[in-house]
Structure 1
């Protein structure tokens, strides 16, 4: 049976994380994608394409889309990158768009919901929202790649983070080497 995931892309810098996640996940799973208008603008500015992947694309404002309902069965959701505005909405159950509505439904149905934050520094409000989202069942990740694998390219750095997301979704894909101690 094909695994099914929802990917939301909100308006934060770091569109390469979304692109690399789609690159690795869409060939092995059914992917439902929602991209905010600001995310589309930022992707264009950063020179990153979020199109051309075998996904089902949903309109950002379509609150009647199947993924807006708890009856839509899927194996988890990722918001990548997750802006602080989207984090605040998810943490507080504010659902004016399909990304936040799908996350709200994912949490209420107790499915994996991963928020990849890309912000620095963090304010107390951000940290409080992170804790609130965590307590509601979300997995909070930050775009903080490890360096023990001695990355050479930006893709190496990004894929190290993306591989952790994929691990938390329970998908068996080996993208990067795993820590095995000092050589």
Structure 2
């Protein structure tokens, strides 16, 4: 699969980094785009700068380049996951405000009927956040909140990260066994 990973300025950049590692290890082609605030959070939370992320992915796009390949429906991409996804980005996608490459690429996923997954990382949420997420869910966007489960008895932060990334992979149609599933 060819998958776009979008990273915004919400807390939780570790999720995106782990997803990229998992996708690459499984042999998928990964394209990435990061907002300006996404770069700040990647550096603050994970110590990751452009060069390090560029080395992990197949293509790293400049978020200001709205003429990049992923901005066009004619560029074949199987899916896009935005994680973490800020409420600003949720609002931009919900209202088709394609003011940067990340939101344009998400808009393309919607118009082409391709798989789009958002991992909002905000709490608490107010009614406008919820309305925007509902609008996107009604359009077929998969909303996977960054809300860890505990039924798999996590012992480390990696266990929690792997569970969420596993849930994103489930929405991508990939069975990668990143966490213990509930068996009753």
Give me the TM-score of the superposition, normalised by structure 2. Answer: 0.94
**1:6 maps to 2:4:** yes
Give distance in 2, aligned partners of 1:104 and 1:168: 18
Give distance in 1, aligned partners of 2:30 and 2:45: 23
Aligned match for 1:92, one of 92, 95, 103: 95
Aligned match for 2:13, one of 15, 33, 41: 15
* Segments of 4+ moved more than 6 angstroms: none
**1:112 maps to 2:115:** yes
> What runs of 5+ residues in structure 2 fail to find an aligned partner?
none
> What runs of 5+ residues in structure 1 fail to find an aligned partner?
none
Q: CA RMSD in A?
A: 1.1
**1:71 maps to 2:74:** yes
Give distance in 2, aligned partners of 1:14 and 1:54: 18
Question: May I ask how many residue pairs the two structures share in their alignment?
Answer: 179
- Cα deviation 1:28-82 (Å, max 9, x = unaligned): 2001100111111111111243623132101101111110001111111000000
CA contact (8 A) 1:15 1:48 kept: no
Give me the TM-score of the superposition, normalised by structure 1. Answer: 0.94
CA contact (8 A) 1:19 1:48 kept: no
- Cα deviation 1:105-142 (Å, max 9, x = unaligned): 00111111000000000000000000111122211110
User: Which has the larger helix fraction?
Assistant: 2
